[in-house]
Amino acid sequence: MTRGVGITRQQVSTLVLTLVTVISLVAWVPVGAAAVTNGADITHSNLSVTPTTLYEGSAVTVNVTVENTGASQQPYNTTLTVDGEVVAYQTGTLNASESRQLTFTETLWGAGTYDVAAGGLAAQTVTVEAANAKFHGGPGNLGNYPNQEGPLTEPVEVWNVSDTAPQVMQPTIVGDTLYTAFHDGGELYALDPETGEVKWNATPGGTWGSTWTTPAYANGVLYLGSNDYKLHAINATDGTEIWSYETQTNVRSAPAVVDGVVYFGSNDGNLTAVDADTGEELWYYTMYQPVLVESNPAVVDGVVYVSADDDNLTALNATTGAKLWNYTLRDESQSDPTVANDTVFVGSDSTMGETSGNGSVYAINATDGTKRWNYSMTGDVDSSQVYADGVVYAGSRGGELVALDAADGSRLWNASGSDFRGAPVVAGDVLYITDFGDSTVRAFNATDGTELWSYNSPASSLYATPLAWNGYLYYGSGSQFHALAEPAPTVSAVNATNPTGQNLSVSFDSSQALTNISVSVAGPSSTAFTEADFTESGSEPYTYTLASPYETGSDGTYTVTVDTAENADGQDGAASESDSVTIDTVAPAVDAGANATVDEDVALDFNATATDAVGVTSTSWDFGDGSANVTGKNATHTFADPGTYTATFTASDAAGNEGTDTLVVTVNDTTAPTADAGANQTVDEDTAVDFDGSASTDNGVIDSYEWDFDDGSANATGATPSHTFADPGTYNVTLNVTDTGGNADADTLVVTVADATAPTADAGDNVSVTEGDAVKFDASGSTDNGVLNSYEWDFGDGANSTNATETHSYGSTGTYTVTLNVTDAAGNVDSDTMTVTVNEESSSSSSSSSSSSSGGTAETTEETDDDADVVVDTASEGTTKRSDVSVTNVDTTRPVVIPLEPPATDAEAGGSETNESAGGAGDAASADESASTAAENISVAQLSMNVRSEDDFTLSVTTYEASEDEATSERFRRETGATSAGYVVVDHSIQDDDIDDVTFTFSVRKDYFETTGVGPESVALYRDEQTQWRRLDASLVEESESRYVFEATSPGLSRFTIGSTVPVFETTAAEVTETSVSVGEEVELSVDVSNLGGAGGSHELDLLVDGERVAGQTVELGAFENGTATLSYAFDEAGTYELAVGDRVVGSVTVEDAGETETAASVDDSTAEATGGEAVSGETDGDETGGDDGGNATGWTLAVVAVLLAAGLGIAYRRRERDE
């Protein structure tokens, strides 16, 4: 076919690439482009590098003049070097004698000094100061701060800033200013990082100007996105806006600023590059709309890496925005790429929810986009990873925190949490992360995963990635921004002492080790001590003691004050804690007074004098008789015992000097002794009694003892006589004692002589009675020498009586031994027995009972002498049954048993058949329907529980089928891997704390097991504990023809489900690999299958073509296991066919004759080769398919014009769209 004038798609692509190359050569190009050699007459001069001092993430502007001093046009290649390494260059040509000023913009990362040069001229030194200028600290989002440190021990909050909105991103720190912004109407703040003092605050974009992003800092400007559909450039000094760039929706991607270009994502599906100085759009790349691009891009070696909710990680040329490659992840991604060692690390969401299922961490080759490895984690992995020293750290929404070998993805250590929503950071050898689920901030040893501390935040909703900087840890919450630091030292136990002479010693305690100490001394002489004067001992607290006592040289009062107590971080815990001591080396002069004589128990006055040059601080008397000392110069004291005593008077001054003096006191004896005859006694008649008066006391010596026994016998002497009383009775025995001073005293005890003769019991004669007849028992024949005091009958059947005569009936036949015990007034006991024979009645009797119910309700009452009273009212509707239970007369020592209904039996099933047979045709149908309604899967027969309260209470027990609550059944299945047969809900008026050990007796129909294909051994009772379903083991206790009966015990009442573990299969994804094939060529479908159940099994996948099954495959999966299967089919006729896997529609496929497919394939293959492997969609008319592609100069000219015209129209349209 003859080809007309035109341009192929390959030529269009070639033209576009040519234009891009030309544009790149006009401006400077990054290192890696083809090198050009300087002409012989090319020279460089006038090198200018500004600024020479800047912060990390800011750029130097380098100007240099290149000149052609020759007579003809010559090429130039001007290089920019940093520390001797070429980082950029510009090439071009200069006419004879022409000169040109070239400008380079180069962003510098890493604190230190750098030699910057251009054109081979002498380098100029640039100093870069440390800063956290963007999210995760640098262009590769490494999140590693090797030269920084946060709190190493559990911190305290040192300040916070409150706003009305959440703070959700890592802050920016530059110099002495911290920048952070709040979301949802919050403000952008500039703060003092040590005090939290607000320097300025602003709301870029007004009330919609809140932000989700970390501000990026470069050369005095902050760049951040907001919810007002804009990227803002803000003056970092005062918060005023410099410029803004408008997008189609909100910007939640933290910008990256590299070499004068700002890169950011927006939720209209775009990744955009704008000029950092002007905000002018340089290029944008669209994934597709609408798709969220909330990932914080990484820009490394001229490539922009970004992930998005289109399930892709994408690599773009940083200069042109052209796509280099993309890798398809497991699911959507908000994760921020981390780039290190030619590898991109990124996370993806789970396909089964934020905190469940499996997300992944991927390691992707940064050059070609191929996967190196991936690691699965529970829940979404929607934050960025940290790379440090060959290790990748990642957290997930499912509460997993892992450290992985960056080379192969093998796990080095892991830790558990609740919900890690923000990314971790590593500072030094410590990993810091916030836990959104339990509102904690945690620190781990980055090497081995040992948890160093966990801090409970006073706020919730900890979204943000923290930042460890200069000993502080910063993080955000639902309405605040917080700063944590290790607490300052606490100074305590300041002690100033005077160990000897006029020496002064000082010590104090500190909760932390100190590096800077200042202690001042004030008094008659003064001085100051530093840390060099103290020795340190102990740990937490640390004790600091003055190494050598200070020689004051003068008596007087000295005050010691701790003025400075700083730890290694410079935190000062001193608050002028002080102590005082008085130095006094002269003791007081004292006089106790003259000697004295006094009778015992007579008060004696003591009067002393004491004087001291500095002052007496305390005085006391020691009376020498063992009594407590008495303070004061003047005292009154009474001596209890006669004798001679030395009384000592002591006076002390403030220095502890003591002066003493004594006097002698003679005490006369005037006190009678105290007689003690001992305790009262009780003995049997004619039994010897020992008496003991040795407990009698005297302040001197007892001289004699005399006993009067009150029975007419002679008195006895001595401290311990013995005496026998012949007759029972009560006797008052008197002891008289006399001391050597003639003083006397008497004491009396009572001796009770007891009756020792036992009574005689008489229970009566043996008897024989008929069952139900009363027997009269009579103990009046029992005798005693005194009075019988009590009777006790044991009737042999568990019954007792304490009456002398009693009538008793026996409840069953048999022979009973009756025992009578009698006790007299003295406690003497005797017993006697008799036999009672109970015979059966001569005639038999029978009884019967019946119960009935109607209308689907039934009421039963259970009542015994020992058990609680239980009333059950049951109503049924379909497969739902409700029993209202009332419990009264509760006995807390016995279980409360609630019979709801007997387990369904085979006889009951037969009863249904009888009712069906009894009616006519219409009645039979009705009976069938009734039987079907009544044949619920589950039935609760009985509840038994222990209760702690005797109060009456009520229960409402409802059972219903699983199909009546599909939402709960789905939640139950996903959480437990089991399938519900039905639910039991128990509402109750009794408090939960008053219930223990509830035993359920329930049954499950056998045809349920036949239908579901599981056995009774898989049945369990599950309790809904709100946060989770708790599995309670069930025991099979009975089996009938139609049902199994189980028992299970629960710690309390709630909602329950009776379930069994079965395989549950779900097709989670299916895609066709080719949408256009030839007749006879196989179509392959990749199908992802998950077994959500708690048991393994097999699943049949059916491939349907236009609704008819054409192929299938059986998949075997274990419990909670995922798998991928491939289905294939070859069509024998051309056409368009709809493909489905089961009920999941996959898409359509076009089947063409072999000749048509070959022609289309050849065109597409040619297109793909011309465009770097990407197919270009479009139509080709008949004239395009057979001519020469490159022989028409007019066609190429028209193509160039068309491309330029299209570019101009595109730019105009884009600008108009922004203006609108």
- More confident call, 865 vs 140: 140
Contact indicator for 946, 895 with CB cutoff of 8 Å: yes
Instruction: Give the orientation angle of helix 921-934 with respect to helix 906-918, to 10 degrees.
Output: 160
Mean pLDDT along residues 575-590: 92
Domain pair 491-583 / 681-750, same fold: yes
pLDDT for position 333: 93
- More confident call, 872 vs 756: 872
pLDDT for position 1198: 40
Does residue 844 register a pLDDT over 50?
Answer: no
Phi, psi dihedrals of residue 87, rounded to the nearest 5°: -110, -15
pLDDT for position 185: 74
pLDDT for position 654: 74
pLDDT for position 773: 87
Phi, psi dihedrals of residue 909, rounded to the nearest 5°: -60, -40
Nearest to 339 by CA among 400, 384, 286, 397: 384
Mean pLDDT along residues 398-412: 98
CATH of region 42-129: 2.60.40.10
Distance CA 633, CA 5 (A): 131
Mean pLDDT along residues 602-608: 95
Does residue 14 register a pLDDT over 60?
Answer: no
- More confident call, 828 vs 494: 494
Contact indicator for 260, 233 with CB cutoff of 8 Å: no
Write out the H or E segment, with its range, that includes residue 225.
Answer: strand 221-225
Does residue 988 register a pLDDT over 60?
Answer: yes
Contacts by 960-963, CB closer than 8 A, 24 or more apart: 960/879, 960/880, 960/881, 961/879, 961/880, 961/936, 961/937, 962/937, 962/1057
- More confident call, 757 vs 488: 488
Instruction: End-to-end CA distance of the chain: give it in Å, rounded.
Output: 48
pLDDT for position 1164: 35
Write out the H or E segment, with its range, that includes residue 800.
Answer: strand 800-801
Contact indicator for 472, 483 with CB cutoff of 8 Å: yes
Residue with token string 């790149």: 24
CATH of region 869-901+936-1060: 2.60.220
pLDDT for position 962: 72
Which has the minimum average pLDDT: 666-670, 955-959, 1033-1037? Answer: 666-670
pLDDT in tens, 1086-1138: 899 888 777 788 889 999 999 899 899 899 988 778 889 999 889 888 999 99
Distance CA 1018, CA 1004 (A): 12
Q: Share the mean pLDDT of the chain.
A: 85
pLDDT in tens, 430-487: 999 999 999 999 999 999 999 999 999 999 999 999 999 999 999 999 999 999 999 9
Residue with token string 């009566």: 764
Does residue 1189 register a pLDDT over 50?
Answer: no
Distance CA 14, CA 1199 (A): 11
Tokens of 121: 């001229």
Residue with token string 């408008």: 246
Nearest to 968 by CA among 1017, 1018, 1026, 1008: 1026
pLDDT for position 842: 54
Question: Between the CA of residue 489 and those of 194, 468, 508, 512, 713, what are the distances in Å?
Answer: 17, 20, 12, 5, 86
Question: Between the CA of residue 71 and those of 41, 42, 91, 92, 119, what are the distances in Å?
Answer: 9, 11, 19, 17, 21
pLDDT for position 964: 60
* Sheet-wide strand order for 230-235: 216-218, 221-225, 230-235, 241-246
Distance CA 1047, CA 1054 (A): 17
Q: What's the pLDDT band for 210 if we cut at 50, 70, 90?
A: low
pLDDT for position 966: 67
Contact indicator for 1049, 997 with CB cutoff of 8 Å: yes
Write out the H or E segment, with its range, that includes residue 257.
Answer: strand 256-258
Does residue 1150 register a pLDDT over 60?
Answer: yes
Distance CA 640, CA 796 (A): 68
Alpha carbon 222 to chain centroid distance? 35
Does residue 944 register a pLDDT over 80?
Answer: yes
pLDDT for position 875: 87
pLDDT in tens, 82-108: 999 999 999 999 999 999 999 999 999
Does residue 776 register a pLDDT over 60?
Answer: yes
CATH of region 1065-1152: 2.60.40.10
Mean pLDDT along residues 717-730: 90
Which has the minimum average pLDDT: 225-234, 1059-1068, 1170-1179? Answer: 1170-1179
* Sheet-wide strand order for 938-947: 857-862, 869-877, 880-888, 953-961, 978-988, 1055-1061, 1019-1024, 1029-1039, 1043-1050, 995-1005, 938-947, 896-899
- More confident call, 1177 vs 1152: 1152
Q: What percent of the chain has pLDDT over 70?
A: 86
Tokens of 161: 């800033």
Does residue 772 register a pLDDT over 50?
Answer: yes
Mean pLDDT along residues 591-603: 94
What is the signed CA dihedral for 840, 841, 845, 846, rounded to 10 degrees?
Answer: -20
- The class level of CATH for 767-838 reads mainly beta
Q: How many CA atoms lie within 13 A of 1195 on its CB side?
A: 16
Fold classification of 491-583 (topology level): Immunoglobulin-like (2.60.40)
Distance CA 851, CA 860 (A): 9
Mean pLDDT along residues 420-432: 97
Contact indicator for 123, 130 with CB cutoff of 8 Å: no
Q: Pairing between strand 542-546 and 550-551? A: unpaired
Q: What percent of the chain has pLDDT over 90?
A: 61
pLDDT for position 664: 96
The one-character DSSP state at 826 is: T
What is the signed CA dihedral for 1071, 1076, 1081, 1083, rounded to 10 degrees?
Answer: 10
Ramachandran class of 1135: left when φ > 0, alpha when ψ lies in -120 to 50, beta otherwise: left
Options 2.60.40.10, 2.70.70.10, 3.30.565.10, 3.30.470.20; CATH of 589-664: 2.60.40.10
Nearest to 199 by CA among 217, 186, 187: 187
Question: Between the CA of residue 447 and those of 25, 316, 390, 471, 1147, what are the distances in Å?
Answer: 47, 34, 11, 20, 49
Contact indicator for 975, 1050 with CB cutoff of 8 Å: no
Does residue 1162 register a pLDDT over 50?
Answer: no
- More confident call, 1190 vs 1085: 1085
- More confident call, 626 vs 1195: 626
pLDDT for position 325: 98
Q: What's the pLDDT band for 1014 if we cut at 50, 70, 90?
A: confident
One-letter amino acid for residue 773 of the chain: D
Contact indicator for 227, 241 with CB cutoff of 8 Å: no
Fold classification of 144-485 (topology level): Methylamine Dehydrogenase; Chain H (2.130.10)
Contact indicator for 1050, 998 with CB cutoff of 8 Å: yes
Contact indicator for 116, 123 with CB cutoff of 8 Å: yes
Q: What's the pLDDT band for 902 if we cut at 50, 70, 90?
A: low
Which has the minimum average pLDDT: 56-70, 112-126, 596-610, 1025-1039? Answer: 1025-1039
pLDDT for position 209: 61
Q: What is the pTM of this model?
A: 0.51
Q: What's the pLDDT band for 968 if we cut at 50, 70, 90?
A: low
Cis omega (within 30 of 0) for bond into 75: no
Tokens of 378: 């529970």
Which has the minimum average pLDDT: 782-791, 949-958, 991-1000? Answer: 782-791
Nearest to 104 by CA among 65, 67, 61, 66: 61
- The class level of CATH for 681-750 reads mainly beta
Q: Please name the residues in contact with 893: beta carbons below 8 A apart, sequence gap of 6 or more.
A: none
Residue-by-residue DSSP string for 300-360:
ETTEEEEE-TTSEEEEEETTT--EEEEEE-SS---PPPEEETTEEEEEE--TT-SSSSEEE
**How is the chain split into domains, by residue range?**
42-129, 144-485, 491-583, 589-664, 681-750, 767-838, 869-901+936-1060, 1065-1152
Contact indicator for 1125, 1092 with CB cutoff of 8 Å: no
Centre a 10 Å sphere on the Cβ of residue 388 and count the other Cβ atoms it contains. 22
